[in-house]
């Protein structure tokens, strides 16, 4: 196999100091032992970075370069360019006796799953060696045996056809399609399988009143990512909840029957099972609670060692400067506007090359900042390249900061804020309403930055999360 190097090698240092002081914010501890099925996600999406070869990537994940090319429908290494998301196949065989692998949702019971997939309860239990059906938790991966009886699906996967192709053919987002079908690993979908197109949300949950449906997405949840909850109740009322030691803020609509919340999962959340508690109060004052364990998995982030010139590294020692700026950013990007300004998927904020993704653990000179991580996504582009609002929102603040340079912060509502660092110019003012696609500034090299680039950051419910998730998955 040919070895090649991705062009455009560019070193950017960004947000490093930001991290140094933010790493202590870790909510809650895992309440149960770390016994989770498999370690790490079934599907890993790797964003190609500068200087990385296909063989580097293959070696890192322990799969062959050919398997990566095949999984992504690519013919050769030259198609693997910086910033390209690559699906990393984890294993290429289904468990014996399984036709598909699904992820258990909130509100799923063993009986309901058996009914939904048209399989006998015993077969489901035997295949998964389930000892106690009452111990199902959200995020658990279950093997489903071949269905018996009628099929009522909408799209059938042809021989040799991938879920991605079906998604393309049906004009739906592949991630949404996988989500709608509770598919744990889009690469492990057997030929001939019927896929339910997203839209008609069929529950199949057997929930006691007043709960009609409780949907948590995407499952399983991962460190550093965003989660959404959609709850429907039989009667109107108010909903509250807690997860990972944080209060969930629900927005209730449709006369008190539909409740939605989104939340961020801290990058350092230990993988494990965590209780989710929902409390519903109807208009007569009757209270119901719902408790379920939810799996949080490893986010699959890498790590890197960064060498900084000493004069820049010295700033790492300036605790007051770092803490002051971090405090300002945290207070500006934490809050809750009840109005939701955005709708659907976010756009990329720049046409620049993605050089560093969110979440990578970073070690600086001599182990300083050992517990820091990259808090956003970096896009390299020449000074003056437009910065685009990825979604509708209201500008919260703009200004020049020592570390982050020319900074813009946008409130998208419902506790979602986005930030843009190191710009060369800012084209909006606090209070301005911005719409998706509108230019809000230009990329630059201001603040503590070693090359022209945009650092894009997203906060949800006071937590820094992976912004690129919002480009491929819709919330709420
Ligand atoms: Zn950055």
CA pair distance 245, 72, nearest whole angstrom = 38
For residue 85, what pLDDT is reported? 77
Whole-number Å distance, alpha carbon 385 to ligand 1 midpoint, is: 17
Residue 129 binned pLDDT confidence (cut-offs 50, 70, 90):
confident
* Paired tokens of 329: 């950013």
Q: Which of 125, 68, 138 is nearest to 97 (CA)?
A: 125
Whole-number Å distance, alpha carbon 44 to ligand 1 midpoint, is: 21
Whole-number Å distance, alpha carbon 301 to ligand 1 midpoint, is: 15
Residue 457 binned pLDDT confidence (cut-offs 50, 70, 90):
very high
Whole-number Å distance, alpha carbon 424 to ligand 1 midpoint, is: 15
Residues less than 5 Å from ion ligand 1, measured at CB: 14-15, 378, 455
Question: What are the start-end ranges of the E strands in 244-319?
Answer: 246-248, 251-253, 258-264, 272-282, 287-297, 303-305
The CATH H-level (homologous superfamily) assignment of domain 100-195 is LysM domain (3.10.350.10)
For residue 239, what pLDDT is reported? 97
Whole-number Å distance, alpha carbon 458 to ligand 1 midpoint, is: 12
Q: Which of 430, 423, 439 is nearest to 14 (CA)?
A: 423
- How is domain 211-297 classified at the architecture level of CATH? Sandwich (2.60)
Whole-number Å distance, alpha carbon 375 to ligand 1 midpoint, is: 7
Residue 351 CB partners (closer than 8 Å, separation 6+): 379, 381, 385, 386
- Torsion sign, CA atoms 389, 394, 397, 399: positive
For residue 69, what pLDDT is reported? 84
Whole-number Å distance, alpha carbon 177 to ligand 1 midpoint, is: 31
Indicate left, alpha or beta for 335 from its phi (over 0: left) and psi (-120 to 50: alpha). Answer: left
Residue 335 CB partners (closer than 8 Å, separation 6+): 411, 415, 417
Q: Which of 9, 10, 6 is nearest to 56 (CA)?
A: 6
Whole-number Å distance, alpha carbon 449 to ligand 1 midpoint, is: 9
> For the chain, what are the domain ranges?
100-195, 211-297, 303-472
Whole-number Å distance, alpha carbon 83 to ligand 1 midpoint, is: 14
The one-character DSSP state at 138 is B
The CATH H-level (homologous superfamily) assignment of domain 303-472 is Glucose Permease (Domain IIA) (2.70.70.10)
For residue 54, what pLDDT is reported? 84
CA pair distance 298, 355, nearest whole angstrom = 22
Lowest mean pLDDT among 134-138, 189-193, 306-310, 450-454: 189-193
pLDDT digits (tens, 9 = 90+) for 268-322: 999 998 999 999 999 999 999 999 889 999 998 888 777 777 777 777 678 888 8
Element (H, E) at 57: helix 54-61
For residue 206, what pLDDT is reported? 60
CA pair distance 464, 22, nearest whole angstrom = 10
Whole-number Å distance, alpha carbon 12 to ligand 1 midpoint, is: 7
Whole-number Å distance, alpha carbon 334 to ligand 1 midpoint, is: 19
Whole-number Å distance, alpha carbon 271 to ligand 1 midpoint, is: 25
CA pair distance 267, 466, nearest whole angstrom = 9
Q: Is the peptide bond before 392 cis (omega within 30 degrees of 0)?
A: no
Q: How many CB atoms lie within 10 A of CB 16?
A: 24
* Paired tokens of 105: 């949702």
Element (H, E) at 112: helix 110-116
Whole-number Å distance, alpha carbon 76 to ligand 1 midpoint, is: 30
Whole-number Å distance, alpha carbon 365 to ligand 1 midpoint, is: 17
Whole-number Å distance, alpha carbon 282 to ligand 1 midpoint, is: 45
Contact between 222 and 297 (Cβ < 8 Å): yes
Task: Say if residue 421's pLDDT is above 60.
Answer: yes
Whole-number Å distance, alpha carbon 164 to ligand 1 midpoint, is: 30
Whole-number Å distance, alpha carbon 241 to ligand 1 midpoint, is: 33
């Amino acid at each position: 196999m040919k070895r090649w190097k991705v062009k455009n090698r560019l070193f950017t240092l960004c947000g490093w100091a930001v991290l140094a002081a933010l790493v202590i914010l870790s909510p809650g501890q895992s309440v149960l032992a770390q016994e989770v099925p498999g370690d790490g996600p079934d599907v890993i999406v790797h964003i190609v970075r500068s200087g990385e070869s296909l063989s580097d990537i293959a070696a890192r994940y322990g799969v062959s370069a050919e398997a990566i090319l095949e999984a992504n429908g690519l013919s050769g290494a030259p198609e693997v360019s910086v910033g390209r998301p690559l699906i990393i196949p984890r294993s290429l065989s289904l468990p014996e006796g399984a036709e598909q692998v699904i992820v258990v949702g909130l509100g799923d019971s063993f009986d309901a799953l058996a009914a939904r997939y048209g399989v006998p309860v015993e077969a489901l239990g035997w295949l998964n060696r389930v000892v106690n059906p009452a111990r199902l938790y959200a995020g658990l991966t279950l093997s489903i045996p071949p269905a018996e009886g009628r099929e009522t699906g909408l799209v059938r996967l042809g021989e040799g056809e991938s879920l991605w192709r079906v998604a393309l053919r049906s004009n739906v987002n592949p991630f949404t399609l996988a989500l709608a079908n509770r598919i744990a690993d889009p690469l492990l979908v057997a030929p001939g399988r019927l896929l339910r197109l997203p839209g008609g949300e069929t529950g199949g949950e057997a929930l006691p009143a007043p709960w009609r449906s409780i949907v948590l997405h995407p499952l399983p949840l991962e460190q550093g990512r965003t989660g959404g909850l959609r709850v429907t109740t039989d009667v109107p009322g108010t909903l509250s909840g807690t997860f990972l030691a944080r209060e969930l803020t629900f927005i209730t609509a449709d006369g008190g029957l539909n409740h939605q919340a989104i939340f961020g999962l801290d990058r350092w959340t230990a993988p494990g099972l965590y209780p989710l508690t929902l409390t519903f109060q109807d208009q007569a004052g009757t209270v119901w609670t719902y408790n379920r364990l939810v799996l949080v998995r490893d986010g699959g982030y890498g790590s890197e060692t960064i060498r900084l010139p000493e004069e820049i590294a010295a700033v790492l020692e300036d605790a007051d400067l770092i803490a002051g700026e971090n405090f300002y950013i945290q207070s500006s990007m934490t809050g809750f506007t009840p109005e939701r300004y955005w709708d659907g998927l976010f756009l990329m904020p720049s046409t620049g090359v993605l050089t560093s993704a969110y979440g990578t653990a970073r070690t600086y000179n001599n182990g300083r900042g050992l517990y820091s991580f990259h808090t956003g996504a970096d896009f390299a582009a020449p000074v003056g390249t437009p910065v685009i609002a990825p979604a509708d929102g209201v500008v919260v603040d703009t200004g020049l900061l020592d570390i982050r340079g020319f900074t813009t912060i946008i409130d998208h509502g419902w506790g979602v804020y986005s930030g843009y660092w190191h710009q060369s110019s800012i084209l909006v003012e606090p209070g301005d309403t911005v719409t998706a696609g509108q230019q809000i500034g230009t990329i630059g090299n201001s603040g503590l930055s070693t090359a022209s680039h945009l650092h894009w950051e997203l906060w949800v419910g006071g937590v820094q999360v992976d912004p690129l998730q919002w480009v491929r998955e819709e919330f709420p």
